[in-house]
């Protein structure tokens, strides 16, 4: 990837081709979908909404802008589950980031979550919440609220990786989109069952995007194809906890041949990201 700093452009979670599809889908389905609430027990007992405490002067700073028409439920979902606060809090607690990076919930007119290096800001579109929720619901998945929260969390870590690579000038070997996915796994897997279920929800969400992409995958897109990203996440989960996640090796979404390397892949991911972040760890 050339010109990362010379010609900044918004980086998002998904492929350019898919974003066009999503716009069409959103236009067809409208914004009238009802909110599927998070499963009871998923959210923290601490439900304080951020914004009352003084915002940090540096690091990732969450904020929620007023929603446009039809997006109030999606903002409420993000706030109730404290998704922006959780991800920014985890990263701020670990890293000393010498810049303010806003993580802004807003109505965008399209459904995405993207880091804009010119503005130094992560835009969290309320429409993305609706889209992911509707995809799970329409595909017949259970625990739609929990899965949607998991995908949003994974995406926030992914976009935070873009922001950190930019602001901390992290040296890495390229293909930033895969590195950002690895950053999401790097944070979510050690968070135990809940974090790992979030990563699995992201893989399942990519399964659904892969269905939409079928037959027209753009192999030159900077993002790996959705099916490959889903397989990567399953491989990281299996590599981190082979007994717990043995059922993921189903011969379809994750093959036995690939799973033979999963432990090594996950260990490499941890070594690589730990090395990149070490100079920026917060001193205790
Ligand atoms: Zn990305």
Domain assignment present for residue 268? The answer is yes
Residue 271 covered by a domain = yes
21-59 pLDDT per residue, tens: 444 344 444 333 333 333 333 333 333 344 445 666 899
| Strands 113-116 and 11-12, bridge-based pairing | antiparallel
Q: How far is the CA of 250 from the centre of ligand 1 (A)?
A: 27
Instruction: Give phi and psi for 121, each to the nearest 5.
Output: -140, 145
Has residue 27 been placed in a domain? no
Residue 233 CA from chain centroid, whole number: 12
C-alpha 15 to ligand 1 mean position (Å): 9
Max CA pair span of the chain: 51
- Asked if 34 and 73 touch (Cβ cutoff 8 Å), the reply is yes
Distance 52 CA to ligand 1 centre (A): 30
Asked whether residue 76 is assigned to any structural domain, the reply reads yes
Structural domain contains residue 38: no
Q: Provide the number of structural domains found in the chain.
A: 1
Domain span holding position 149: 56-213+222-279
Question: pTM for the whole thing?
Answer: 0.85
| Structure confidence by residue, pLDDT tens digits, 207-232 | 999 999 988 999 999 999 999 999 99
Residue 88: exposure state from Cβ atoms within 10 A (0-12, 13-18, ≥19):
buried
* Range of weakest confidence among 167-176, 185-194, 242-251: 167-176
- Each residue's pLDDT tens digit, 105-139: 999 999 999 999 999 999 999 999 999 999 999 99
Question: Distance from the CA of 228 to the center of ligand 1, in angstroms?
Answer: 14
- How many A from CA of 159 to the centre of ligand 1? 6
Distance 11 CA to ligand 1 centre (A): 5
* Residue 275 belongs to some domain of the structure: yes
Distance 152 CA to ligand 1 centre (A): 13
The answer, yes or no, to whether residue 5 has pLDDT greater than 70, is no
């Amino acid at each position: 990837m050339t010109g990362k700093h010379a010609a900044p452009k918004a980086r998002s979670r998904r492929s350019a081709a898919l974003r066009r599809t999503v716009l069409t889908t959103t236009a067809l389905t409208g914004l009238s979908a009802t909110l599927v609430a998070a499963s009871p027990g998923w959210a923290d007992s601490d439900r304080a909404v951020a914004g009352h405490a003084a915002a940090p002067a540096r690091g990732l700073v969450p904020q929620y802008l007023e929603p446009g028409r039809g997006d109030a439920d999606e903002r409420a979902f993000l706030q109730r589950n404290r998704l922006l606060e959780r991800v920014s809090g985890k990263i701020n607690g670990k890293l000393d980031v010498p810049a303010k990076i806003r993580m802004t919930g807003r109505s965008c007119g399209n459904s995405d979550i993207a880091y804009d290096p010119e503005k130094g800001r992560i835009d969290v579109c309320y429409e993305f919440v609706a889209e992911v929720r509707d995809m799970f619901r329409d595909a017949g998945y259970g625990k739609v609220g929990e899965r949607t929260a998991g995908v949003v969390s994974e995406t926030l870590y992914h976009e935070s990786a873009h922001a950190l690579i930019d602001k901390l000038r992290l040296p890495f070997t390229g293909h930033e989109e895969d590195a950002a996915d690895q950053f999401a796994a790097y944070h979510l897997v050690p968070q135990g069952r809940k974090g790992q279920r979030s990563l699995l929800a992201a893989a399942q969400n990519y399964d659904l995007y892969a269905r939409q992409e079928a037959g027209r995958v753009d192999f030159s897109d900077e993002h790996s194809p959705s099916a490959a990203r889903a397989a990567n996440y399953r491989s990281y989960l299996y590599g981190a906890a082979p007994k717990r996640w043995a059922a993921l090796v189903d011969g379809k979404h994750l093959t036995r041949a690939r799973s033979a390397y999963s432990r090594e892949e996950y260990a490499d991911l941890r070594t690589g990201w730990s090395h990149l972040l070490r100079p920026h760890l917060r001193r205790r």
